[in-house]
Amino acid sequence: MAGKARGYGLTAELQRKKDAKYDLDLEQEARQWIEAVLGRNVFGDKCGADHMHEVLGDGKVLVELANALCTADPNNSLGPGIKVNDSNLAFKKMENIGNYLKFCEEKLGVAKLDQFQTVDLYEKQNMSAVLDQIHACGRRAGTKGLSVPTLGPKEATENKREFTEQQLKEGQNVIGLQMGTNKLASQAGEHFGRQRQVAGHDAYN
């Protein structure tokens, strides 16, 4: 759980490395974006991984964030939103977090690589990953055209190219430079793969 001892050895060392990656600037940007989307003060004047975990750990604010993004969708393509679990039971809190992550991936299009694991937040195992995911969520919200403030740089959009059948056939006849050339020399002088010939003793007489 969140208050368990960190211990010693490899596990503790890995946890220290995760904690060291925590970026307060990214946290501030994430906090400001969440509060702007929700239209209220959520985090107060405190900052840091412990406080972020305290505010977000039960998943309620994240579900509220998902629902606010649905409301800000001019095309109504994100669905009606998510029901929040107000229970203090651990599995209900984790269910909130899981529902938020599912919404981000399936509705918003956040890549799996940008998602954190439920325990990363609930057990405060990797709060840096939580920040990264919130930033990814904000970028996708901008790409989707939601009427919310932007968070970070705009994501690149797909630049799909269409080729005609004739262009594809012509491309098959081109020899790339990385494959060499067939116009400058024959293979007569090449030695790759040939046996090395050693001159006998009589050759020097």
What is d(CA 35, CA 43) in angstroms, rounded to the nearest whole number? 8
What is d(CA 205, CA 35) in angstroms, rounded to the nearest whole number? 93
Single-letter code of the amino acid located at 79 = G
Structure tokens that stand for 168 in this block: 């594809």
pLDDT at position 73: 95
Mean pLDDT, the chain, whole residue set: 83
Question: Percent of the chain, pLDDT > 90?
Answer: 61
Confidence band for 3, pLDDT divided at 50, 70 and 90: very low
pLDDT at position 200 over 90: no
Mean pLDDT of 95-112: 97
Helix axes 60-71, 24-38, angle to 10 degrees: 60
Measured CA distances, 120 to 63, 104, 116 (Å): 17, 16, 6
Tokens 């060392």 -> residue: 13
pLDDT at position 17: 76
pTM tops 0.95:
no
Confidence band for 199, pLDDT divided at 50, 70 and 90: low
